[in-house]
Amino acid sequence: MNVRNKQLLTWCVLTRIRHTHRFRHGYSNRKALVNTTTEENQYERLAFCVTPYYRKPYDTQVKIKESNLKKSLQKVINIVRHTRKGQYSPAVKKLDEENDGQMCALVGVKPAPEIYGYRNKDEMSIGPDVTGDRRVVGLYVGKGSSGKVVCVSPQHLVIMKKTHVDIINAYQDFLDQSAYVKYGRSGMIGYWDSVVIRSSQQQDTMVTVMFRARQKSADEYLEAREELRHFFQQGQGRQLGVTSLYFRPSFHSYWSYSTAHHVMGSPHIFEEVLSHKFRISPDSFFQTNTPAAVVLYSTVRDYVKQSGAATVIDVCCGTGTIGILMADLVQDIVGVEMVKQAIEDAVFNAENNGVMNAEFVCGKAHRFLRDELPQRKMNGSAVAVVNPGRNGINKKVVNAIRQCKEIRHLIYVSCKPSGNVLVNFADLIVPKSDKLEGEPFVPVEAVGVDMFPHTTHCELVVMFSR
């Protein structure tokens, strides 16, 4: 690989990381904001960047999000009309005319039950403060007067739990006394980096600390790991009652998911949703707003009931949350997921909740839908539930869903209904072609669920049928 390709690969990786972990960076792209961060306005700047709606009444926030979701549904029709020659079929035109230019009707936005202190997962960076004299645990908000990137403590953000703020403050104290800090002694074997805090409604907390290791031998960073354990188990941090502590060494120059080593306490924490208990590991996906997740999953349950399907196919199932919560509505649950640890958690969660009609498969979704699912005997039709990451699903998965004749209904859950997600919607509704085989779906209804009060983001659930 030549130097140019290496630079391009590094840029792509870093770009993806910044996009994927947007909450680590509270910064805005507006130069008027990012270049004017001072000691006096730093907390206001961070609040505006991370929670831009925090000064608006909550009912106003919901109305804004409803308007934005309608625009997203209109964009789907525009994608087909202006970029898909010959695919603006009579069926798509009918959707356009019947729904005021939208793909389908939006029946509103369901508000979040709790709008303050709702986040159950927070990821903090470590960087220079406004003065540049101290490294603080917080979020990047832009550049200060010195022209350098500024990291600001999130203690005043209205969406954060007090327990998380307490852990961040304690970790700050730990950094102030630790030997392993960036720009410290030149002979050190590494330095502390980001920290991830997760919690449940049962007051369990999991802390995962990233350590940038310069040596690839585990023996080299045992001293740093022991320093961390001692602080939370016997030192100043013991009063926080951390349930689970992990140490994650990284040997790369960019942020990456390396193996997390269990240091103290329980290996997992547990969360309850709709009378079901779910195990959470360091890398498990779980909705960041548990009370609002109840609203979201109840909405999905309603659509599964409407479908009348005998089988739920949980695509990108993660730890099996959706499938397990639908188990009493159908005969069979089949979940598919690429991450092995997530499948192990899904199997445990099903057994722990007494769900006997669920099966979880580790593998790529499009291959499972294309090769394995047609070989299975199913009693009646199936409804697929897709709950992917912010970028949606790739075209291979869309094609596999379209070609799977057993799937008569599709419930698509998106946390960011823009970009590729809208392309997914367009690919699902356009007529059959050389690139998109199988019978198209018809969007029946959409509803928003506000999982992220005070921010611009909103979950969208769309019911498709064919």
Enzyme catalytic residues: 415, 459
CB atoms within 10 A of CB 352: 15
| CA dist 61 → 32, 50, 118, 156, 456 (Å) | 24, 15, 16, 20, 8
Beta bridge partners of 409: 383, 465
Give dist(CA 33, CA 172) in Å, integer.
26
Give dist(CA 321, CA 273) in Å, integer.
9
Say what angle helices 58-83 and 90-98 make with each other, to 10 degrees: 150
- ∠250-254-260 over CA atoms, to 5°? 25
Give dist(CA 418, CA 397) in Å, integer.
18
Smallest CA-to-CA distance from 320 within 292, 368, 353 is with: 353
Phi, psi of 127 (to 5 degrees): -155, 180
Q: Which residue carries 């029709």 as its tokens?
A: 77
Query: Strands (DSSP E) along 129-171, which ranges?
Result: 135-143, 149-152
What dihedral do alpha carbons 106, 110, 116, 122 form, nearest 10°?
Answer: -60
Phi, psi of 194 (to 5 degrees): -70, 165
| Strand bridging mode 135-143 / 121-128 | antiparallel
- Map residue 210 onto helix, strand or coil: strand
- Map residue 164 onto helix, strand or coil: helix
Instruction: Kindly give the residue spans of alpha helices, DSSP state H, lying in 267-369.
Output: 290-307, 321-326, 340-352, 365-367
One-letter amino acid at 421 equals V
Smallest CA-to-CA distance from 181 within 146, 215, 212, 150 is with: 212
Q: Are 312 and 326 in contact (CB under 8 A)?
A: yes
What dihedral do alpha carbons 100, 104, 107, 110 form, nearest 10°?
Answer: -120
Smallest CA-to-CA distance from 76 within 106, 104, 109 is with: 104
Which DSSP letter does residue 53 get? T
